[in-house]
Structure 1
Amino acid sequence: MPAPTAMDTPQQRPRILIVDESRNVRTQLVQLIRDQYDFREEGDGEGGWQALVIDHSLQLVICAVSISIPLLDSDGLLARLRSSRLARLRQIPVLMVASNDEEANVRARALGASDFIASDIDASELLARIDSALRLAQAQNVLREHPERDTQHPDTGLPTRQRLEVHAAQAISYALRHESPVSILIMGFDRFDALRDEHGEDLVKELHKRFASMLFTKVRKEDSLGHYSGSDLAVVSPGTPYPACEAFANRLREAFAVANIAVHGKRLDLSVSVGVANTPVDRLNSASSLLTLAAQRLKTAQQAGGNRVVACGEKPLSQQPAPRLGHAIDLIKAGHENAVIPHLLHLSKEVLPFLELLERELKLGLPLAELRKRTLDREH
């Protein structure tokens, strides 16, 4: 049995460094993470750098995108970390609290920021981002330090989650440098536990192998197919824009739905669901956050009855906060009109005149007729 890691041992909680000149900001972040992680605070980049050099227990950094931190700003801290002679510091995950200055965000990304979080992020999302970043860092360390270690799943021969996360990180890094899209699909059997209870573990493993084999014949050579968790499989598809990826997900779902899979002469009623995430549509720039979002959308699809694809903008409104109007407009401009209506269904009739004004002045192509109809239908 492998030795427990810091993330598996309750007595050894991962330790997070929070760097921000504002005591209030540091306090807010501490309140969000203190139940799950140990922490250390520093008020400037120089103090953060010294802490990281001395304190080997620090596993992740949260730092504001800022040019005003005294002594050493966030750009300088990132530059020192990514050019350090110590591998531990070169590879440490750094979550940046995004700035309203997009140029500052771009600089931070170019200097090696691992991920970006909003200043008003809630506890559940922040904890999920930290957990994903730590897991990715751990996977990269394992593969780097033990290249001989088996990175293939014993049942299917596909890459394990550790290897898949590394592939995803590489694809995202390349995409950001070349301003190209990356899509991620995570798919799994609907009603998996009931299927296993009724037919047994051996049959489920065999179905999993067939599912993996079918997917392997469908993906491109440049795509990465591997395990995500349990029976769920994931595809990392570099260069694939969101509409094409969603269409591909539906083709996979339909192909499996019509497959004639029988046990003892009896055809099994099987279906799969797929969660889709994409950069730039989802405005996420890290592999961990995209994988987590795709997994959340898979769960949403399964909870909604299964045999469906949940992609950008399609999460049921009861399970997500009301999206920002600016995001919906960005989706329209990017050619994703079908994703806009689910984003705007929370709008009331009182807001529609404002949208009509925007349409007259800016010619955004808002689907106003459909929105009016949907809004009236909901009221009745």
Structure 2
Amino acid sequence: MSDEANQPLPKVLIVDDSRMVRASLIKLIRGRFEFREEADGEAGWQALLVDPTIHLVLTDIGMPQLDGYGLLERIRGSRLSRIHELPVIVISGDEDDSARERARQLGANDFITKGIGAAELLARLDSLTRLAQTRRALEESREALAKQSPVDPVSGLATESYMNWRGEQELALARRRQGDIGAMIVEIDRYEQLVDRHGDHVAQLVTRKLSRILATKVRKEDTVAQLGSAQFAILSPSTELIACCAFALRLQKAMEKLVMTYRDERIRISVTIGVSSSTTDPVKTVSDLIGLAVQRARSGRDAGGNRVIGGGGEVRQEFVDRHLKQTVSIDQVLARLRLGETAELRGQLPVVVATLLPLLELVESQLRCGIPIDALRKFDPDAGRGSGSAAKG
């Protein structure tokens, strides 16, 4: 009993342009509920944004600046679950049945008249606040369960907490082995406009489509998590910056070609991608690595979107092609060879030979096993400088 007595009273937001109506309602609920009062719908909406302790809304319909209908629309359209799920009771006066029906369709939970008695009002408030508290407790339980699980039940991707845990392990391993780990932040361009034009339902379909694309495009060792309604993170262990940039450009081009149809209207989508790397960027933690990628995605979005941004600014295909021709990862070549991807590797053989040439020269000079060094030197652009040329990569 003492614990219940120490619990704070549930708070009711009363929104009505009549000071007398607000005062009469406060008199009826004082001692059983905390309360906050506002004189119009706009002020009531601002109160909801800044005050997370509000459990229920009592609102009039006819008010200046923003009426009760507008307030209801904002509440039910909010992306914040604590606001979206709030019980709303409409204070009705002389409105006809059509006004009540409109309020009900917009999401009103109940109606009271301005002359309601204390017992009836308190009973309705008790019922709806208990419902709200149960929903909040359920949501908190779901969030706690999601934090313990590696998989987000909504997106089917990794949870953010699991991605951070896995990322710290991979970062520590990369540092021990002098390897690399790359991060990418993928953001859907103009998401707010998409919501305003087509609604939350269509915007969520677009998000789910991108989620499925990412899940199928990445490697098994990569980790993908959804950080926000329009934002995804990818962690790629053992992946150099240039490889991340190449993947990001392929994804960007794929999304450019994607067209979704909704009610005979074609919806085109683009993404902006921020890229960071543990070896080229000054980071200490995975959070730092992801944070840099977020900043770069934001700068790309501010520049107009539909681009890939790295540490040196916008990444273009020419940059990636030039570096891929200059460097090759022997580890990656061997891994692909073990997978039987010989046909795909044929085009890279000249670069592989040029990369391995210093090692082959050393082997031949020490073992004299007949490696045709002179024939292989033609693949090395620095061959004219003799056997002291540096390996590329």
Q: Please tell me the TM-score bracket, short chain as reference.
A: 0.3 to 0.5
With normalisation by structure 1, the TM-score equals 0.43
Structure with larger Rg: 2
With normalisation by structure 2, the TM-score equals 0.42
Answer 1 or 2: which has greater helix percent. Answer: 2
